[in-house]
Structure 1
Amino acid sequence: MRRSLVLTDETAGHPFLASLPPHIREEAIPVQARPKLRVTREDIRGFALAYVACFVAVTVFIM
């Protein structure tokens, strides 16, 4: 495995990114290009369904 002489890059901003090789860091997605996360009604419905299912399973297990 090839390693760079310099193990960190102070311009990377985050310690994990600084530890990555330069060719990997160049492929990182810039913050502006990342999609915005949106919570939809289907997400809330799925979360509520999973929460209720786990609650019922634990309640049945305890009884």
Structure 2
Amino acid sequence: MRRYLVLGDETARHPFRQSLPPQVRKDVLATPSPQSWREALTITREDVRGFATSYIACLVAVIAFLF
């Protein structure tokens, strides 16, 4: 593994990220974060479907175990 002969970047804030070369770390920092908490917590149809499927599967498993 190639190591650069400079000190780590303080904006990386983690020892592993500081050890990464600048061109790799550039992509990590370029990803935009959600604007608000509402955008981060959007619930899609697939989320509801997955929850309902796992709920029904657990319910059926408990009922089958009891009887």
Using the size of structure 2 for normalisation, the TM-score is: 0.56
Using the size of structure 1 for normalisation, the TM-score is: 0.58
CA RMSD between the two structures: 2.7
Which digits, 9 at most, give the CA deviation of each residue in 1:18-46, with x for residues without a partner?
A: 2311222234306xxx2636326xx1x32
Give me the identity figure in percent: 30
What residue in structure 1 maps to residue 34 of structure 2? 36
Distance 2:8 2:30 in 1: 19
Distance 1:57 1:7 in 2: 53
Structure with higher RCO (Cα < 8 A, 6+ apart): 1
Structure 2: which amino acid aligns with 1:36? P
**Number of aligned pairs?**
56
Distance 2:5 2:17 in 1: 16
CA shift, 1:60, in A, is 0.8
- Structure 1: tracts of 5 or more residues without a match: none
